[in-house]
A and B are shown apart, each in its own frame.
Chain A
């Protein structure tokens, strides 16, 4: 089974996804906090990304979603093409678009996204990975 692992980022688990800038499709790599506390199995989103990334990378809108907790309020949602090349993953994923915040990660991979895969440290406490 293909597996990809990334070193912890600032001591936290992360995943790297590749978006595609439209119209030419140049790859845009984003490092996302892997957060099983973001969303639930039935959530209407899988990722939280900067809204500009959603718009520049071919996202089409869904109705907005109301968030509580670390993000509060109504936020737009987009269907965004997302790749993890090492896993052969290439799907359209529903993402919440939030304002840019340089103090934070470039986004969050929520539980519904992580739950598409097997995830964890796979025996290496300095890394986090996905397997499918």
Chain B
């Protein structure tokens, strides 16, 4: 870990690696899981986002030190917002 990186950058980098690993290897322990990261470490692996968020906030109450990722997802996918008036 570089000392010049922020906690957010370190968390983002780990999240990217976790997602790449899960997409390449369906046997990965992170595949199709919701992964909670705090201070550059994986601290929660859960089956749904509610459980992951609840446990992550218990472990690290400072949201600026936390990050979540849905492993195995295609983050290039576009989500449509239809017909907002």
Contacts from A to B (Cβ < 8 Å): 12, 22, 33, 35, 37-40, 43-45, 48, 58-71, 79, 91-92, 94, 104, 108, 110
Contact = CB atoms under 8 A, between A and B. Distances in A.
Contacts, number: 93
Interface residues of B, number: 31
A13 to B, nearest CB: 11
B69 A70 contact: no
A63 B76 CA distance: 11
Given A63-B69, A79-B68, A69 B49 contact: no
Contact of B79 (A59, A67, A104): A67
A37 B82 CA distance: 5
B81 A108 contact: yes
A60 B66 contact: yes
A38 B70 contact: no
A61 B83 contact: no
